[in-house]
A = this chain, B = another copy of it.
Amino acid sequence: MPLTPLRRVNLAHDISAQLSQAIVAGDFPAGAVLSEPMLAKRLGVSRAPVREALIELETRGMVEFDERGRSRVPSLTHDDLVDILGIRIALEPRAASLAARRADPLAFVDLEHNLDAMRAAQTPTELARLDTAFHSAIVRASGSRRLHLCWNVVEHQVDLWLAQMQSRVDALCHQLRDTTVAAHAAMFETIRSGDTLRAEELARKHLTDWLDVLPGAPVV
């Protein structure tokens, strides 16, 4: 073993991750107030790390601060989803292009594992999680820390929207499963081949295709 410890703990970071997960899991419905004492009590910690976690989540759009400083779970509308996808259409082609140029073997492993997992996935929830994870992996593969910071803003927004629109999700996911896997596989191959332009175009098309599935006004 390389014997490589280790990371001084940071409760705020763990809390942030756990809260984020709880929110997309639907534990806190849209509009719910996340009071600091309540969270601190449930988590068995003091308010300080909870506050820090909430601040981080605010920059990721997972919670909103109202005029009184209380944090709430934002309630997403259809327009919000369109807005989110519009941003992803701006960011992800760039990420795919950079990833193709960078060609990091470790990132390729991640992407390949994700593809395998998605082919084996059963539940729509699992599929949605893996879909988001695949796109996250591409952003990480880009190697740009700042692009990743931007990506954080939209990373879990679609999951949050899915949690709040639980009705239609399952049918949609099932319907799209095979096309999604195919699109991801194509993106992976293209990125691995180093074709930056085509990677960019595939990423854009993958997202606009998804957008077309939704009813409502066009994005661009």
Take A68-B8, A69-B10 as given contacts and tell me if A94 and B84 are in contact as well, using a CB distance cutoff of 8 Å: no
Residue contact B56 to A87, C-beta cutoff 8 Å: no
- Which residue of chain B is the closest to A59 with respect to CB atoms? B59
Provide the bound-state CA to CA distance between A86 and B146, in Å: 10
Residue contact A6 to B67, C-beta cutoff 8 Å: yes
- Which residue of chain B is the closest to A93 with respect to CB atoms? B90
List CB contacts (< 8 Å) of A154-175 with chain B.
Answer: 154, 157
Q: Is A32 an interface residue (CB 8 A)?
A: no
- Of B51, B52, B146, B154, the residue contacting A154 (CB under 8 A) is B146
Q: Is A25 an interface residue (CB 8 A)?
A: no
Residue contact B52 to A84, C-beta cutoff 8 Å: no
Closest chain-B Cβ to A99's Cβ sits at a distance in Å of 13
A59, A93, A144, A150 — most chain B CB neighbours (10 Å): A150
Q: How many residues of A contact B (CB 8 A)?
A: 40
Closest chain-B Cβ to A97's Cβ sits at a distance in Å of 7
Q: What B residues does A90 contact at CB under 8 A?
A: 90-91, 93-94
Provide the bound-state CA to CA distance between A68 and B8, in Å: 7
Provide the bound-state CA to CA distance between A97 and B56, in Å: 29
Closest chain-B Cβ to A7's Cβ sits at a distance in Å of 7
Q: Is A126 an interface residue (CB 8 A)?
A: no
Q: Is A116 an interface residue (CB 8 A)?
A: no
Which A residues contact B (CB, under 8 angstroms)? 6-8, 10, 12, 48, 51-52, 55-56, 59-61, 67-69, 83-84, 86-87, 89-91, 93-94, 97-98, 144-147, 149-150, 152-154, 157, 196-197, 220
Given A61-B145, A146-B153, A196-B220, 14 more contacts at CB 8 Å?
A: A7-B67, A48-B48, A51-B52, A52-B52, A59-B59, A84-B146, A87-B94, A90-B91, A90-B93, A91-B150, A146-B157, A149-B153, A150-B150, A197-B220
